[in-house]
Structure 1
Amino acid sequence: MQILKYALTLGLLLLFFGCNVSPKPIDYGSDGCYFCKMTIVDKVHAAEIVTKKGKVYKFDATECMVNFMDEFDTSEIELYLSNNYTEPGILIDATQATFLISKNVPSPMGAFLSAFKNKADAENVKIEKGGELYTWKEILGKFKD
């Protein structure tokens, strides 16, 4: 009986710690984009999805993440993350980000899409590089068209 109790406790602990719903570091130059299969090298435009079960999908660009959503049950997604343009390699909550589409800021898949943690940073880059600002919902709508 004691062994059964131990096994059950161990199993519950593994289940609890095995489903860690958090971002995973992107190994730039090694990890591949789940959507387009390109190697992720751009620390400014990479993105990541984490499911409610803790599975991580990595992308070389936010536009790949958005396009991937057409093929996936989005009710299973816990986190949408994009790299912060002003802090390369740092993932931010894409649903709270401000996005810039500017022909003067290329992204890996050619959508010219960049994410910013702060709207003020996005506005400053827009002044310098041109383009249009969008919210997460607006980006989703734009890519559905």
Structure 2
Amino acid sequence: MSGVFGSPAFTRRRTAVGGLWVIVFCLLLVACGGGGEDFANDPPEIVVGQDVCSGCNMIINDINHAAAYWTTAGEARRFDDIGGMLGFMQKRQEERASTWVHDVNTGEWVRAEDAWFVMNAGLVTPMGTGVVSVANEEDARALAFDQPEALVMTFDEIVTGIAAGEVKLQMGPGLKEE
């Protein structure tokens, strides 16, 4: 019964295949996690036209207004409108590992803590909240259009203002303030 299965060639091939499986397993293990909160260093991926907003369950179709965050449990929350995300955060009160917004002018991801936010009724956003973000204060002031009711704030200021009831999110059609 030595035949083919007992041959040195078969044994070498079996050892090589076994070694290959060990390498593949290790690569999968590294790719799938074990990295602590490394996931929070990058924004959650948003597939435009496919991913659904965590707040309103509508498909995200405009990346420049989209926002997202990671929970500390590693769950991604995606939104079609920054104002929608802010309202969702206020209601859910879950711990976030990182929060991300897009610069409305460039479409580039920006950590929310580094961005500037503009609330202005004249700004058109997917859910009608009028909240957009940009990477710098100068661009934020330009988007405010010198309108007295427009607000230019940092992330901390807008989150704190909403929590204190000093900043009210306007809601477009289909949304209501709660």
Tell me the TM-score range normalised by the shorter chain.
0.7 to 0.9
CA-to-aligned-CA distance 1:33-63 (integer Å, 9 cap, x gap): 0111111112221100013343211111112
Distance 1:115 1:15 in 2: 31
Larger radius of gyration: 2
Moved over 3 A (4+): 9-15, 17-20, 127-130
Question: TM-score, normalization: structure 1?
Answer: 0.78
Counterpart of 2:86 in structure 1 is: 66
CA-to-aligned-CA distance 1:52-93 (integer Å, 9 cap, x gap): 34321111111222222231422xx111111111112x2211
Distance 1:106 1:129 in 2: 15
Please say if residues 33 and 40 of structure 1, whose CA atoms lie closer than 8 Å, have aligned partners that are also in contact: yes
1:93-112 aligned at under 5 Å gives the runs 93-112=111-130
Distance 2:33 2:115 in 1: 32
- Does residue 42 of the first structure (1) align with residue 48 of the second (2)? no
Change in CA separation of 1:18 and 1:140 when aligned onto 2, cut-off 3 Å: closer
Distance 2:131 2:137 in 1: 15
Distance 1:51 1:39 in 2: 21
Identity of aligned residues (%): 24
| Bigger mean CA deviation after superposition, 114-123 or 53-62 | 53-62
> How large is the RMSD of aligned CA atoms in angstroms?
2.8
- Does residue 132 of the first structure (1) align with residue 151 of the second (2)? yes
3-state DSSP class of the match of 1:120? helix
- Does residue 142 of the first structure (1) align with residue 142 of the second (2)? no
Distance 1:46 1:91 in 2: 9
Structure (1 or 2) with the greater strand fraction: 1
Aligned residues: 137
Structure 1 portions without partners, runs of 5+: 1-5
Question: TM-score, normalization: structure 2?
Answer: 0.65
3-state DSSP class of the match of 2:110? strand
Counterpart of 2:43 in structure 1 is: 23
Counterpart of 1:122 in structure 2 is: 140
3-state DSSP class of the match of 1:78? strand
Higher relative contact order structure (alpha carbons within 8 Å, sequence separation ≥ 6) = 1
Distance 1:67 1:126 in 2: 21
